[in-house]
Structure 1
Amino acid sequence: MPQITANGITIEYDEHGEKDAPPVLLIMGFGAQMTLWPMEFVEAMVERGFRVIRYDNRDVGLSHKFDGVKAPGLIKLTLLGKFGITPKVPYTLSDMANDGAGVLDALGIDKAHIVGASMGGMIAQHFAAKHADRTLSLTSIFSTTGNPKLPAAKKEAMKVLITRPASLEEDALVAHGMKLSRTIGSPAYPADEDKLRERVTASVRRSVYPEGGTRHLSAIVADGDRRAMNAGITASTLVLHGEDDPLVPVDGGRDTAASIPGAKIKTFPGWGHDLPTEMVQTLADEIAAHAKAA
């Protein structure tokens, strides 16, 4: 896969579809590589007439790593937040949105449809707010606003997300990744065990970098409540969320839609915090229709 220099760092990306097709920029979530966007979904969007660009966020996958840059721990971040103090973090979600804009710059793309999942949805909100002139439409997938009054993640989901693997041996990493996928995944669409193992193993062999997740988490917590920022988003916005998401409860999606003027929301029973094969065509239909209408 190719690399580019964007926003002062090296970013790994790939693209699919015709160069002159409307571009869609896919932004993945916390600690997740761009390959978590299933190729089935990418191909479905290409079939619907789009040029699809995926990229590894900073500090994950094959993009730039901020080695040695320390981030405050979760307890410190939480305490500072309760006292209304914005902690100093290595970088912000706004910085990460600027990475996305840098990817478009490097590819010579003026405007794109912005699609973000989970933390990627938070980054996409920043993109649409701060790069309005480059946002053809916004789609926020199982994401949230940072509103402190919203329901928290289920304890078991948060625990497995922030717990580091027992070791960096491949077997331990794969077992941890499979446990995470099963814990936060869709109850209506449980992953086939062999296919899940194959996917997680491929991810582990591509890149393992737990330190990046610590800095991602600090950026999320430090970002606080985005509702005031979201009120200024002018892009046509679609929110997609699973009604059985254990990590970001569906109220987060509803709050996102409520915070963005004119936003529409669609929720789906049985869908959790993943992109199961059974949902690919539905999600592609929703996003493509929304993008074309915008």
Structure 2
Amino acid sequence: MTDVTHLDTFHGLPVHTLFPPSPTEPATRPVADSVAWRLDCYPYELPFEDVWARFLDEVDTTRVRALLIGPWWEEDYISLEPVVTAIVADAHRFPALRALFLADVESEECELSWLELCDITPVLEALPLLEELVVRGCGEGAPGEGSLQLRPVRHESLKTLRFESGGLPGHVVRAVGASGLPALEHLEFWFGSEWYGGDTTVADLAPVLSGAAFPRLRHLGLQNSEIQDEIAAAVASAPVVARLESLSLAMGTLGDSGAQALLDGQPLSHLSGLDLHHHFLSDPFVARIEELCARADVQVRLDQADRWDAEDDEARHVAVSE
């Protein structure tokens, strides 16, 4: 399993957690635009409303460039909706905000599949200058029941969009493909397990793979999938690949049939990087891919091999699910 942990840096900035005031230590805080600010309620058992209000009061939010939302609950898990509501209501106080991480939560605080999310579309609508959005969490449950939701949206500035999920629902992937994101350069999906709501199909990826949806796309990550071989086969002939600089099919159940499709498909020699880590390839296919990439000077990642069950489709597993 791949550890899901807190980030040390975000959007090129060191992450700084807003700690509550201490009676024994004077509050010393960095300059507002020198760090990525992280809000965290859980260890202090503080209501999110209080943490948010103190953040607005004590930090010059007009200069904040990056924001991470850590655990937003005091005791029992609750929906992300109050967080989205607060960000949207106070969006005018963040004119410099360019990066947002919704649910920077690690496994010890809450398993990925237990995070209760909501419709995140209002955040994109309220922050038209946002350049990077990362969303962590699964999509279990019907709309309104703590599941991740996204409606097709037009956003002129977004360059990086990443979904870290142990079960990404197909309707979210379809909404991304139907969105107008002309500046998008980096797109990454962690599809996860069907057990946790990950029902994305190759057909859902058609607008992305065609190359028509995002003309400026340079990195594509189709990762952490139980149908990684099917995705690899689709990528092998996908028009979008010709314009990519890097490609990731990592963290999933990639086996020899998927590798064969890549080897038989369109050239990948123009890529600077190919990430296939956490795979189920046999030694001969690993050698063939390494040889191909070495000839083309493509940096390839093939670590975290699970060859002991490479021949057993039922035993393969994604890197991140629960």
| TM-score where L is the length of structure 2 | 0.29
Of structures 1 and 2, the one with the larger relative CO (CA 8 A, separation 6+) is: 1
Richer in helix (by share): 1
